Amino acid sequence: MAYVLVTGGTGFIGSHTVVELIKAGRDVLIVDSLINSKKTVLDQIKKITGVKPKFIKADLVDENAVTRIFTDNEIDSVIHFAGLKAVGESVKIPLMYYQNNLISTLNILNNMLAHGVDKLVFSSSATVYGDPASVPIREDFPLSATNPYGRTKLMIEQILSDMAKAIPHVRFSVLRYFNPIGAHESGHLGEDPRGIPNNLVPYVARVAAGILPQVNVFGNDYKTHDGTGVRDYIHVVDLARAHLAALKRLDETNETIERFNIGTGKGYSVLDVIHAYEKAAGVKIPYVITERRSGDIDACYADPTKAKEILHWEAEYDLDRMCRDSVRFLEMYPEGIPEDASF
């Protein structure tokens, strides 16, 4: 059977998706540069599934490397996760974000056309809705971006829309993720950022584990039920399963491009998350209210109806479960997944 090519397959969402693909009997080829993940994630995937997926270390910005991947392997479809994703960093080094996220995607698209690969699932983000006029957010809301990272997602969505109009046989599924958290229930895979985390839950997890002293809550004067920012947190395994549903849909539909919100439809505040995590970890989590973080919005949560109706997918796991799985991962791997395969 031909491969599902998973770019960024050793990352947080990618690795969980690879597990679900293997469980569904698919042959997976992972390509990752390992700049933001570890090769030992492949061993973790094997612990869970019994299968170590085929892996190629490559930077997708390297056109020749991408051409070789498509020439040497029979590829059925692509799930494209790879990309730089830190909002703050993208403001400081925008060119790097445009260079990396756009060129890598163009290299993949060119090779898909050259090699007759016609199905792609793209990792987009709720960030493409900018500061939405209202919540919950539907897929037909106006799109905008407020930082270079978000602009790369929006630009790639636009490139895919143009291709979909021009080339009748391609099929694109654009998944707009809300806030993925949690970990695999085995405890063998989870979010493993390098350095001090930017995102709320990995930060809270490190405070709960005593690695960091306190959570900085970025503002309590937002227009939300307790003044802190509200987001749609989704279990990474639920999110992973949405990709399988999207692949299935690509085999069945005549639509050349479809876009889906992948969220739970429920909004939780920063304080809600801290309290849920306290319950899961059985510890008190100290926090202080600090200044707002520039660019943050009041509330962002999905209307996930379209994914339910068309992909027949919906999120199953609640916030407590997300926190429990995250706690288990950090208990098993307090220093993160080891770099060295001899553990």
Minimal CB distance to ligand UFG: which residue? 229
Nearest distance in Å: CB 299, ligand UFG: 9
| HSE-up of residue 72 (Cα within 13 Å, Cβ side) | 10
When binding is defined by CB under 6 A, the residue of 42, 217, 246, 327 that contacts ligand UFG is 217
Please identify, among the stretches 31-39, 89-97, 107-115, 214-222, the one whose residues bind ligand UFG according to the rule CB under 6 A. 214-222
Task: List the interface residues with ligand UFG, window 93-132 (CB under 6 A).
Answer: 125-127
Exposure string (b/e) for 208-236, b if CB count within 10 Å is 16 or more?
Answer: beeebeebbbbbbebebeebbbbbbbbbb
For residues 190 and 229, which CB has a smaller minimum distance to ligand UFG in the complex?
A: 229
CA gyration radius, the chain: 19
**Per rule CB under 6 A, is residue 231 in the interface with ligand UFG?**
yes
Question: For residue 113, how far is the Cα from the chain centroid?
Answer: 25
Nearest distance in Å: CB 24, ligand UFG: 27
Strands (E), the chain: 3-7, 28-32, 54-57, 75-80, 119-125, 171-177, 179-181, 215-218, 230-231, 233-235, 257-262, 268-269, 287-290, 299-300
Rounded distance, CA 201 to CA 266, Å? 16
Residue type, 336: G
Question: What DSSP state is assigned to residue 126?
Answer: G
Residue with tokens 């004067």: 221
Q: Identify the sign of the CA torsion 229, 234, 240, 241.
A: negative
Q: What number of chain residues touch ligand UFG (CB under 6 A)?
A: 19
**Per rule CB under 6 A, is residue 270 in the interface with ligand UFG?**
yes
When binding is defined by CB under 6 A, the residue of 81, 203, 313, 317 that contacts ligand UFG is 203
Please identify, among the stretches 72-80, 89-97, 259-267, 293-301, the one whose residues bind ligand UFG according to the rule CB under 6 A. 293-301
When binding is defined by CB under 6 A, the residue of 69, 156, 257, 300 that contacts ligand UFG is 300
Please identify, among the stretches 75-83, 166-174, 213-221, 335-343, the one whose residues bind ligand UFG according to the rule CB under 6 A. 213-221
Q: Identify the sign of the CA torsion 34, 36, 40, 42.
A: negative
Rounded distance, CA 167 to CA 114, Å? 13
Question: Which residues form the catalytic set?
Answer: 149
For residues 156 and 200, which CB has a smaller minimum distance to ligand UFG in the complex?
A: 200
Residues paired with 261 in a beta bridge: 176
When binding is defined by CB under 6 A, the residue of 109, 200, 239, 262 that contacts ligand UFG is 200
For residues 71 and 290, which CB has a smaller minimum distance to ligand UFG in the complex?
A: 290
Nearest distance in Å: CB 314, ligand UFG: 19
Nearest distance in Å: CB 234, ligand UFG: 11
Q: Which residues here bind ligand UFG, judged by CB under 6 A? A: 85, 87, 125-127, 179, 198-200, 203, 216-218, 229, 231, 270, 293, 296, 300
